[in-house]
Amino acid sequence: AEGRLLYCYAIPLHRRAADAGDRYAARKLAGLLHKRGDQDGLRARADAGDQDAAEQLARLLRERGDQDGLRARVDAGDGYAARELTRVLRERGDLDGAVQVLRARVDAGDGYAARELAGLLYRRGDLNGAEQILRTRADAGDGNAARELAGLLLRGRGDLDGAEQVLRARADVGDGYAARELADRKSVV
């Protein structure tokens, strides 16, 4: 009961600070609204561009089992809702549905979704599909996708030369992680 009384105050104070641009307050406010189950409050803030609220709203919708609410947010371009909907679909064994949600996000340029989709395809045994997605993102300059592509080539295909080529291309544009990976591989050989 004491915690609930504090919401009357943790919330207006954080709202004012968040509205003034305080990122910590925005994150804290979103967490408090989530704890309180204030879907409308989170939606209003998320619709106004508050990414912390969008993330917490997606979690709340997943926790409530509101797939329709998640799908509506996904259709509006909410990447957090896409992650949560994908999680729900995977948990229910609807991998085709998860792939469909992720493909739409990949087509919208979501690098996180591309890596998630590649991982899902890899786990399903579709190495070609996973490689194609990661290669497209890597060619567009996504360093994370390039590193994952190198890992897929090495672990999934045993293609040391292909992995090295991907890492070398990243190292040549200043990617320190890729340069360290190349150096580590050379020291093992």
pLDDT at 9: 61
Which token pair is 136? 């497209």
For the chain, 189 residues long, the average pLDDT of each consecutive 10-residue run is: 57 92 95 96 96 98 96 94 95 94 91 92 93 93 92 92 94 92 74
Nearest to 45 by CA among 26, 64, 20, 59: 26
